[in-house]
Structure 1
């Protein structure tokens, strides 16, 4: 048990996302993706509401969404830079999992806890992909917050939002590390 604990701890202390633009082929096939999705859904879920769902976007869907992002950018009057940024993650991506926050009516479980559970799915799926040796990145971007894009492109209901889009593929380069938080500056100990 100590080796597993040490291995998990070492992974979590050194994990780093791979920028989506650095992800290429191959991507996990359905058989390789299923264990990652299974691990991704093992998250805190107060009340067992399962207030989330997943959409796996394969290449053809990514291409369709890239075109829709360009169309929506024009409809919204966004500048060219924002239009390109909104479509790029779909245009250059080969596989992504959209984690959808899909809250359920509940008198006991607050909406915020349900949304946090969807966020936990994002991190759990991201870590599962990285631990399995894939490159992965958690993105959102303006299309993830545009109701019309969500309805037309992803079929989301009015009560649903995108918690994150997890891109998964093969890292084409070693990702650069970035400055990490100073734990001592971010943690306060309360003893009484």
Structure 2
């Protein structure tokens, strides 16, 4: 049997995202964030394409993004509830890392595999933040999929899209654990 890393396995078996609305200042400094970003960048990346990049949204950027989210929500005739929700993640945000999928032309690596890699980066970033002692949550919402918000707010270009906003800050309360998937219901064993 190969050597085990019981601490890492225990962390993964018990990890829980923290609701973004329970996160408060301070958030990680740039020096504290760098190892978290480094860990995320070690995600599976077939062909070494790096089909993702990071935009670190510091607290000073949050009011501008909140205003833009509200304006875009009104322009798109979103419900008041959707506008408030779209704005809230930036109004309440301390620090977030926007993980940006950057599709690369490749004769060997399909676009879908690049999307999978970007999702892996989001989860690795979330887990690295939690393992570093911060509260963290992966959010998207309609703002992540609005091309105008992404262009005006984040400077994205046509072949880029937001895979997630990973909010990272100090947690104020740990939520109760939620029911987890029934492994028997979702697992099929094939031996022949």
Superposition TM-score, scaled by structure 2 size: 0.97
Matches within 5 A, 1:14-163: 14-163=14-163
Cα shift readout 1:29-69 (whole Å, capped 9, x = no counterpart):
00000000000111110000000000000012111100000
CA RMSD of aligned residues (A): 1.1
Q: How many residues align?
A: 191
**Which runs of no fewer than 5 residues in structure 2 stay unpaired?**
none
Any idea what SS the aligned residue of 1:53 has?
A: strand
1:167 aligns with 2:167: yes
State the partner residue of 2:185.
185
Cα shift readout 1:124-176 (whole Å, capped 9, x = no counterpart):
00000001111000000000000111001111111111111100001111222
Supply the distance in 1 between the matched residues of 2:108 and 2:87 (Cα, whole angstroms): 39
Supply the distance in 1 between the matched residues of 2:176 and 2:102 (Cα, whole angstroms): 34
Supply the distance in 1 between the matched residues of 2:56 and 2:144 (Cα, whole angstroms): 15
Offset, 1:74: 1.0
Supply the distance in 1 between the matched residues of 2:186 and 2:25 (Cα, whole angstroms): 38
Supply the distance in 1 between the matched residues of 2:184 and 2:146 (Cα, whole angstroms): 38
Supply the distance in 2 between the matched residues of 1:71 and 1:174 (Cα, whole angstroms): 33
Instruction: Could you list the structure 1 runs, at least 4 aligned residues long, displaced by more than 2 angstroms after superposition.
Output: none
Supply the distance in 1 between the matched residues of 2:153 and 2:127 (Cα, whole angstroms): 26
**Which runs of no fewer than 5 residues in structure 1 stay unpaired?**
none
Supply the distance in 1 between the matched residues of 2:25 and 2:32 (Cα, whole angstroms): 14
